Structure 1
Amino acid sequence: MRSRLWSDLARDKYLFLLALPGIAFFILFKYVPIGGLVIAFQNYSPFFGIFKSEWVGLAHFQRFFSNDDFYLLLRNTLVINLLSLTFFFPFPIVLSLLLNELRSMVFKRVVQSVLYIPHFMSWVLISGLTYLMLSQSEGMVNKLFASLGWETIDFLTNSDYFWGLITAQSMWKEAGWGTIVFLAAIAGTDPQLYEAARMDGAGRFRQMWHITLPAIRNVIMILFILQLGSIMDTGFEQIYLMMNGAVSEVADVFDTYVFRSGIQQGQFSYSTAIGLFKSVIGIVLVTGANFLAKRFGQEGVY
């Protein structure tokens, strides 16, 4: 076993060297910090450190679950993520299917470039554009409404619009970038299948439904399972930038709560306990979804 390992290293040494930065990144920033999770069970003090801080067991978890804000945070986090799964997740798939049907390569590349551009914009810029477009007093949309004699709409400070606004922002920013994986999967489909379908009289829609979608089904399943793993994460930066006092009841999520309690108030152990709770839920969902996918004959993550 050891001799085979060394022979593999010697044979593929350049490939391992290429992988070394990625391996080092995951070790330093993903695995080493796991040891710090122990402070979730302590009253951690930077003065005493991990080894001398008082051990309190599950006290922080009990405090969190008994907190009046827990169910509010859980509701907001789950609703935002379920909206993302319902509308944002399938959107890149639909875009990929439509892009695949374009016959002009020049037009296809132009459309792809336009769709990719928002991914490279920061959430600060996206939030600024949102304010410029939807502000009740200065926003372009409300100015258009006013010029038409319609009533202006309070998009940014009305809690009824917040969840939909966050979902729409995510779709506009990331949907184009998400098409890359699906377009790559579609490109691997055997062209002979389409030729056979055309000979049998299948139109473009039937080819899409019976050939293209089944060809990328495994990719869809894997990405869906991975998406379930982050169902307790809503994207701190986006929520934090769009949140204001008028919509805090529907905008406050676990990520913003951890920021307030951990960074602003210095409750490191308490915020670590919340982060650990989120991670455990993510692991359970990924494991369960992967198990069900295997049971139904689909390819899972592992």
Structure 2
Amino acid sequence: MTGRARAARSFRRHWQLYVLMIVPIAYFIIFKYVPMTNAVIAFKDYNPVQGIWGSPWVGWKHFEAFVSNPAFWRLLRNTFILAAYVLIASFPIPIILALALNEVRHRFFKRSVQMITYAPYFISTVVIISMTILILSPRIGLLNKGLNMFGIASVDFLGDAEFFRNIYVVTDIWQTTGYSAVIYMAALAGVDQSLYEAARVDGASRIQKIIHVDIPALLPTATIIMILGVGNIMAIGFEKAFLLQNPLNLSQSEIIATYVYKTGLLNADFSLATAIGLFNSVINLILLLIVNAVAKRVTGNGLW
């Protein structure tokens, strides 16, 4: 049977699945691939009247303008440090939570902890930041009220640039840990029970079981998540950084994403904003390829 005949036979047998695939394929084409063509704006002096394809070509002008900008290295440093801090600090905590919950035998307590840690993920980022601002307020904030009880003067946490990254990371961990732990718990649920039985027969303690059974089972999943995290290291979320930003902490809170927003929307320099975004995406792609190659060589696991 030829390849064309096999394809026709497969289509006749599974045509319902092919029909179901039409919607997601159309979604990716319309909302993902077609917008990629607009990246050409980065190489043009975009004029809304002339349109994308009617605007004149300027080559690498906007990339050179961004790289030569005095703020370039500060933006790059702030973005990389904040993203690396988030990745390093938040990566192990969901694993620890999943391992701990996997050892809990009291079903009600386990489900309660899961619900409590999972719920913040569904809270809007705006609400999270509003709560953070209220808690850290110098006058009415709960944290400063607690410091005042011990005779310590109020601290303007949001007005001090040195606190910005810590606040960002702590709120991110609180919001995403429970959701991220679900992936690891699903991986632990697929572990062969005979491995646990063999560990009990050998007299392994709980810690030894975690080290020799659970962690190796989580390693492939953790590797993939780490690769994806590093691949998005320059694409750190805009909303939280922008909402926590103020003139006093701008030296550390101004990242590439917020700069693109101010350049593209507030200053209406669409070509420069597109060039910066494209530069950011290329850096992410390079990091993804490097980390994937290293992970493949070290652990044998990778995206491809």
Go from structure 1 to structure 2 and tell me whether the alpha carbon gap of 1:155 and 1:297 turns closer, same or farther (over 3 Å shift).
Answer: closer
Letter in 2 for 1:77: T
Give the Cα–Cα distance (whole angstroms) in 2 for the partners of residues 67 and 31 of structure 1. 30
Letter in 2 for 1:171: I
Runs of 4+ in structure 1 deviating by more than 6 angstroms, as ranges, are none
TM-score, normalised by the number of residues in structure 1: 0.97
Question: Match for residue 165 of structure 1?
Answer: 167
Residues 235, 284 of structure 2: 8 Å contact kept: no
Structure 2 residue matching 1:237: 3-state secondary structure: helix
Residues 45, 58 of structure 2: 8 Å contact kept: yes
Question: Match for residue 199 of structure 2?
Answer: 197
Name stretches of at least 5 consecutive residues in structure 2 with no aligned partner: none
1:42 and 2:39 are equivalent in the alignment: no
Residues 295, 302 of structure 2: 8 Å contact kept: yes
Aligned residues: 302
Question: Match for residue 11 of structure 2?
Answer: 9
Question: Match for residue 76 of structure 1?
Answer: 78
Letter in 2 for 1:196: A
Name stretches of at least 5 consecutive residues in structure 1 with no aligned partner: none
Letter in 2 for 1:30: K
1:194-214 alpha-carbon deviations (Å, 9 max, x no partner):
111111111001100111010
Greater mean deviation of Cα atoms: 69-78 or 1-10 = 1-10
Partner residue of 1:298 out of 278, 297, 300: 300
Letter in 1 for 2:85: L
Identity over aligned pairs, percent: 41
Question: Match for residue 110 of structure 1?
Answer: 112
What's the offset of the Cα at 1:191? 0.9
Question: Match for residue 28 of structure 2?
Answer: 26
Greater mean deviation of Cα atoms: 138-147 or 214-223 = 138-147
Question: Match for residue 129 of structure 2?
Answer: 127
Partner residue of 2:218 out of 190, 213, 216: 216
What's the offset of the Cα at 1:282? 1.0
1:89-118 alpha-carbon deviations (Å, 9 max, x no partner):
111111111111111122111110111110
What's the offset of the Cα at 1:40? 0.5
1:141-184 alpha-carbon deviations (Å, 9 max, x no partner):
11122133222222111111110110001000011100111110
What's the offset of the Cα at 1:221? 0.6
What's the offset of the Cα at 1:297? 4.5
TM-score, normalised by the number of residues in structure 2: 0.96
Give the Cα–Cα distance (whole angstroms) in 1 for the partners of residues 291 and 249 of structure 2. 33
Give the Cα–Cα distance (whole angstroms) in 2 for the partners of residues 109 and 262 of structure 1. 45
Question: Match for residue 283 of structure 2?
Answer: 281
Question: Match for residue 153 of structure 1?
Answer: 155
Superposition RMSD in Å = 1.2
Give the Cα–Cα distance (whole angstroms) in 2 for the partners of residues 66 and 203 of structure 1. 59
